[in-house]
């Protein structure tokens, strides 16, 4: 008996059937949490608010797993009409129980021949078994601070282990790993870095509806949509043979489609368990997947053109996944998520520098074809991991969301979507003015300027965070983009002017007295808090022209812009 998971209990061999045993963590509408089996989660999806894993990225990985099951169980949807029937159906997931019956053996976490998402018989030459910290992402190796598991993950339940197996296949770190028997890439017992698992290389994006039912359907892209599949070869991992050590033989031709991609076996791993739970793991590299130019296959990420990659790989055009910046809230990156056109200043004829996620294109199609009501609200949720030290450790896990009307994604009526993107630009320039005020006040008092400027910017973005999200969620079809933007600029101006006044009041006596400073372009300037405040207000008016109060002798236009009155 090589592994204790082969041990038999009095009732027979160890087994944990994911189709019938609860393991998927979910949040219900009353805020309570529970765990459901695969059968239960599809049967009760309409009464489940959302998945609620131990870390946000676990939710992203699990949703992709559930969507892969749906694609395969439904063998579609093939087109928009198929999808519309599912959306209107009382039982859109009716084929799933029969499908799970057909593949039940492959969903057994502890199956002796085909353990779920694992490699049977995986072992090192010395027969080593390693701590579960290698797959439990809230217990990073050697960094046990700020964790719920100060003693490490010595033993976890089968349900927890199933979630972490799915997460490891999606988000495992890079670095030197254990070399296993049968992997020709291993040398001297070591597997050298091959990059992070697939989902860790992208900027994850999901469309979230009010229930898990809607969430799963919104992310279920029809075969005639913006994402390609290769013939009839697209299938999830459990419909192929159990993974063996080393890379798959047909790697150069894959992924064949989203079923293949959503269940991509980035790693080879094997849990070690006994009747009381899981206590160890063997983990090494599986199927590598370079991220270059996968925009036609991976819909759950935005993409950016990389001229550095074009030069490196001698290719005319290379797109890389658009990762999320943990220092920027999701609403500040709204242009990359929803903008249907390139906002950079690329010369005419040049390819776009950014591509929004294929998933957003799919939602836009549902709106344009009037399958979804344009007053419907969805939440665009983002997920990402920041890896450190040559991608061998997890530095940070990011998650954010913005709620918006689906009409903002429509390509047929771009006005409101453009308004939302322009409002972010308004906020950026206005907060830059606030940062300049903080720097000027520091300069007037003879202090260092960078730290106060950064603090003021953080303060400004923090103050605008809630108002922007509320303003965005309140945009509806029929709203006048000009008036809506004017309303936002008024909110932004009011908010930042208040913060600016506080900064001036707190600047101190030295700033009020001021001092002579040398200008970068030559000459001198007497700078004190009063002149800094005047410059800030002038700049704020320039940044937010629709928020400016009407000049004497003028009246407010419908969009908030001052309009001269005839004598």
In 3D space, the residue among 252, 267, 262 whose CA is nearest the CA of residue 174 turns out to be 267
pLDDT of residue 415: 87
The total number of structural domains in the chain stands at 2
The structure tokens listed for 359 are 């998933």
Question: Which of 409, 442, 459 finishes a domain?
Answer: 409
Are 137 and 278 found together in one domain? yes
Are 455 and 336 found together in one domain? no
Q: How many other CB atoms sit within 10 Å of the CB of residue 331?
A: 24
249 part of a folded domain: yes
What pLDDT, in 10s, does the model give residues 384-421? Answer: 999 998 998 888 899 999 999 888 888 777 888 899 99
559 part of a folded domain: no
HEC states along 229-274?
CCCCCCCCHHHCCCCCCCCCCCHHHCCCCHHHHHCCCCEEEEEEEE
pLDDT of residue 227: 73
Angle, CA 540 vertex, CA 537 and CA 542 arms, to 5°: 115
pLDDT of residue 468: 95
| Cα torsion through 238, 239, 241, 247, rounded to 10 | -70
pLDDT of residue 220: 96
pLDDT of residue 193: 94
Quote the CA–CA distance of 431 and 540 in Å, as a whole number: 9
3 part of a folded domain: no
In 3D space, the residue among 269, 260, 208 whose CA is nearest the CA of residue 52 turns out to be 208
Quote the CA–CA distance of 420 and 411 in Å, as a whole number: 14
Residues 6+ apart with CB under 8 A from 524: 516, 517, 518
Asked if 340 contacts 363 with a C-beta cutoff of 8 angstroms, the reply is no
Q: Which 3 state secondary structure label does DSSP give 164?
A: helix
HSE-CB at 382 with a 13 A cutoff on CA atoms is: 29
Question: Which of 409, 427, 458 finishes a domain?
Answer: 409
pLDDT of residue 1: 37
Question: Which of 409, 435, 468 finishes a domain?
Answer: 409
14 part of a folded domain: no
HEC states along 50-102?
EECCCCHHHHHHHHHHHHHHHHHHHCCCCCHHHHHHHHHCCCCCCCHHHHHHH
**Pairing label, strands 554-556, 515-518:** unpaired
158 part of a folded domain: yes
pLDDT of residue 2: 42
Q: Is the pLDDT of residue 235 over 70?
A: yes
pLDDT of residue 201: 95
Q: Which 3 state secondary structure label does DSSP give 281?
A: strand
What pLDDT, in 10s, does the model give residues 334-364? Answer: 888 887 655 545 566 788 889 999 999 999 9
Q: Which 3 state secondary structure label does DSSP give 27?
A: strand
13 part of a folded domain: no
Burial 88-105 (b: 16+ CB within 10 A, else e): eeeebbeebeebbeeeee
pTM above 0.85, yes or no: yes
Are 319 and 384 found together in one domain? yes
Quote the CA–CA distance of 53 and 55 in Å, as a whole number: 5
What pLDDT, in 10s, does the model give residues 81-102? Answer: 999 999 999 999 999 999 999 9
Are 201 and 308 found together in one domain? yes
Are 460 and 405 found together in one domain? no
Q: Is the pLDDT of residue 565 over 50?
A: no
Q: What percent of the chain has pLDDT over 70?
A: 90
pLDDT of residue 561: 39
What pLDDT, in 10s, does the model give residues 487-518? Answer: 999 999 999 999 999 999 999 899 999 888 88
Handedness of CA 161, 163, 169, 171 (dihedral sign): negative
Are 156 and 241 found together in one domain? yes
What pLDDT, in 10s, does the model give residues 214-232? Answer: 999 999 999 987 676 666 8
Helical axes 529-543 vs 415-444, angle rounded to 10°: 170
Which residue's entry shows tokens 């063997």? 282
Are 386 and 455 found together in one domain? no
pLDDT of residue 342: 54
Range with lowest mean pLDDT among 23-27, 198-202, 208-212, 557-561: 557-561
Q: Is the pLDDT of residue 308 over 80?
A: yes
CA 2 to chain centre: 40
Average pLDDT over the chain, rounded to an integer: 89
Are 437 and 463 found together in one domain? yes
Are 71 and 200 found together in one domain? yes
Are 144 and 30 found together in one domain? yes
565 part of a folded domain: no
562 part of a folded domain: no
Boundaries of domain holding 518: 414-543
Are 405 and 418 found together in one domain? no
Q: Is the pLDDT of residue 185 over 70?
A: yes
Burial 369-405 (b: 16+ CB within 10 A, else e): eeebebebebbbbbbbbbbeeebbbbeebbbbbbbbb
Q: Is the pLDDT of residue 108 over 90?
A: yes
Report the CATH number that the domain containing residue 506 is assigned in CATH.
1.10.132.100
When pLDDT is cut at 50, 70 and 90, the band that residue 4 belongs to is low
What pLDDT, in 10s, does the model give residues 447-475? Answer: 899 999 999 999 999 999 999 999 999 99
Are 45 and 125 found together in one domain? yes
| Cα torsion through 277, 282, 287, 293, rounded to 10 | 80
């Amino acid at each position: 008996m090589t592994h204790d998971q082969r041990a038999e209990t009095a009732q027979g061999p160890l087994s944990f059937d994911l189709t019938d045993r609860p393991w998927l963590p979910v949040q219900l509408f009353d805020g309570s949490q529970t765990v459901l089996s695969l059968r239960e989660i599809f049967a009760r999806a309409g009464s489940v608010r959302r998945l609620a894993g131990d870390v946000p990225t676990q939710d992203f990985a699990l949703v992709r797993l559930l969507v892969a099951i749906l694609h395969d169980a439904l063998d579609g949807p093939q087109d928009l009409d198929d999808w519309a029937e599912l959306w209107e159906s009382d039982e859109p997931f009716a084929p799933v129980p029969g499908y799970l019956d057909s593949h039940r053996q492959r969903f057994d976490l502890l199956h002796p021949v085909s353990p779920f998402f694992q490699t049977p018989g995986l072992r090192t030459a010395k027969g080593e078994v390693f701590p579960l910290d290698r797959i439990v992402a809230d217990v990073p190796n050697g960094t046990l601070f700020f964790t719920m598991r100060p003693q490490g993950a010595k033993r976890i339940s089968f349900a927890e282990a199933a979630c972490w197996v799915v997460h490891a296949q999606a988000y495992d770190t890079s670095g030197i790993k254990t070399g296993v028997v049968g992997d020709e890439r291993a040398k001297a017992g070591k597997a050298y870095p091959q990059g992070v698992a697939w989902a860790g290389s992208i900027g994850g994006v999901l469309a979230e509806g009010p229930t898990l039912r809607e969430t799963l359907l919104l992310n279920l892209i029809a075969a005639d949509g913006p994402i390609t599949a290769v013939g009839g070869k697209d299938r999830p991992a459990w419909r192929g043979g159990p993974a063996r050590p080393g890379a798959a033989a047909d790697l150069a031709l894959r992924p064949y489609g989203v079923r293949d991609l959503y269940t991509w076996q980035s790693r080879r791993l094997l849990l070690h368990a006994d009747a009381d739970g899981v206590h160890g793991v063997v983990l090494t590299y599986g199927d590598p997947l370079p991220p270059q130019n996968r925009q036609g296959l991976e819909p759950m990420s935005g993409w950016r053109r990389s001229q550095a990659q074009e030069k490196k790989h001698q290719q005319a055009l290379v797109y890389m996944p658009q990762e999320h910046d943990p220092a920027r809230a999701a609403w500040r990156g709204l242009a990359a998520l929803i903008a249907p056109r390139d906002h950079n200043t690329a010369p005419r004829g040049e390819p776009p520098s950014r591509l929004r996620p294929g998933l957003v294109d799919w939602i836009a199609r549902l709106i344009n074809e009037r399958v979804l009501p344009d007053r419907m609200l969805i939440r665009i949720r983002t997920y990402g991991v920041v890896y450190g030290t040559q991608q061998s450790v997890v530095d940070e896990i990011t998650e954010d969301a913005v709620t918006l009307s689906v009409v903002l994604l429509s390509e047929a009526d771009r006005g409101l979507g453009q308004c939302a993107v322009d409002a972010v630009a308004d906020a950026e320039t206005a907060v830059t003015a606030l940062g300049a005020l903080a720097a000027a006040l520091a300069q007037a008092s003879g202090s260092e300027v960078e730290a106060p400027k950064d603090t003021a910017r953080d303060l400004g973005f923090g103050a605008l965070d809630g108002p922007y999200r509320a303003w965005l969620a309140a945009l509806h079809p029929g709203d006048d983009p000009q008036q809506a933007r004017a309303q936002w600029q008024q909110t932004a101006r009011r908010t930042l002017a208040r913060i600016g006044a506080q900064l001036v009041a707190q600047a101190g006596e030295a700033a009020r007295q001021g001092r002579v400073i040398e200008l970068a372009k030559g000459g001198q300037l007497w700078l004190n808090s009063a002149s800094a405040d005047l410059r800030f207000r002038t700049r704020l008016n320039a940044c937010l022209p629709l928020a400016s109060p009407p000049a004497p002798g003028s009246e407010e236009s419908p969009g908030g812009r001052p309009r001269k009155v005839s004598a």
